[in-house]
Amino acid sequence: MTRTVASIAATTALGAASLMASAVLLAAPAGAAVESCEGGVLVVVDFTDLGGEVETGCAEGDPQSGRDALELAGFAPVDGATPGLVCTIDDQPDPCPTAFEGSYWAYWQVHDGEWVASEVGFDEADPTPGGIEGWRYNDGSVPPPLPDAAAGVGGGATGEATEEGTDEAATDETATDEAGAEDAATDEATTEDTGTEESGDGTTAGEDATDDGSEQDAGGVSPALWVVLGVVVLGIVVGVVVRARRAKEAAQK
């Protein structure tokens, strides 16, 4: 009987201990000890400006938006009067401000190992698995602390792609320069050939003109004109002779 009671007491104690451990785990801040989120998105929320601490959570898988990542990481965002603009995260600040007082929940993302303010709202953002998202309630000038997992985030593939793109651009530029040089050489050669042909044509025309001029200068008058002049002179001489004979015959009579 004593052993049975002892066994029941031991079992009850173990059950109570398990329940207490589970309660502690459930009550722990969202991902407070999370330092990385393999295959998902690590979310950092900085409550220090509101008297709290920096908390982290892991949004497993591929969140559809920044809001989705924040909620999957264990945080509860609530919009203010303007939909899409976060007023509180986990009920902070309390109460939600009804007028802008200079501070707001600034939305950050890690690129190339550094925090960069998001250029779109968290409903439009599309977090990348392996990336890091951050939130801090202030004037937007200072991001939350950078986690150790940020080293290299957004730098590897981007850097390789950039390097490949640079190499390709350099190759294209080189090919373009070479093609341009070849075209320039071809154009220059064509211009020289054209100039030579034009020069040759000009020389031929000049020689032809010179030959024509030489022929005219050498002959003075064309042969046909000489024939005409000869006929005219001969006609005049014949006419004079005929008139002289007639005059002589008339005198003898």
* 153 band by pLDDT with thresholds 50, 70 and 90: confident
Calpha distance 148→235 (Å, rounded): 129
Determine contact, residues 104/96, Cβ cutoff 8 Å: no
Distances (CA, A) of 204 to 29, 62, 95, 141, 209: 100, 82, 101, 83, 9
The phi and psi torsions of 97 (rounded to 5 degrees) equal -60, 140
pLDDT in tens, 112-151: 999 999 999 999 999 999 999 999 999 999 999 999 888 8
Q: Is 16's pLDDT higher than 60?
A: no
Q: Is 7's pLDDT higher than 80?
A: no
Calculate mean pLDDT across residues 217-234.
71
Q: Is 110's pLDDT higher than 80?
A: yes
Cis peptide before 83 (omega within 30 of 0): no
Calpha distance 169→16 (Å, rounded): 67
User: Residue 80, class by beta-carbon neighbours within 10 Å (0-12 exposed, 13-18 middle, 19+ buried)?
Assistant: middle
Domain ranges across the chain: 29-154, 157-192
The reported pLDDT for the residue numbered 208 is 47
Q: Does domain 29-154 have CATH number 2.170.130.30?
A: yes
The more confident residue out of 27 and 104 is 104
Q: Is 159's pLDDT higher than 60?
A: no
Question: Residue 133 forms beta bridges with which residues?
Answer: 43, 109
pLDDT in tens, 178-199: 555 555 555 555 545 544 444 4
Distances (CA, A) of 151 to 70, 126, 210, 225, 253: 21, 21, 88, 108, 150
The model's pTM is 0.51
Q: Is 59's pLDDT higher than 90?
A: yes
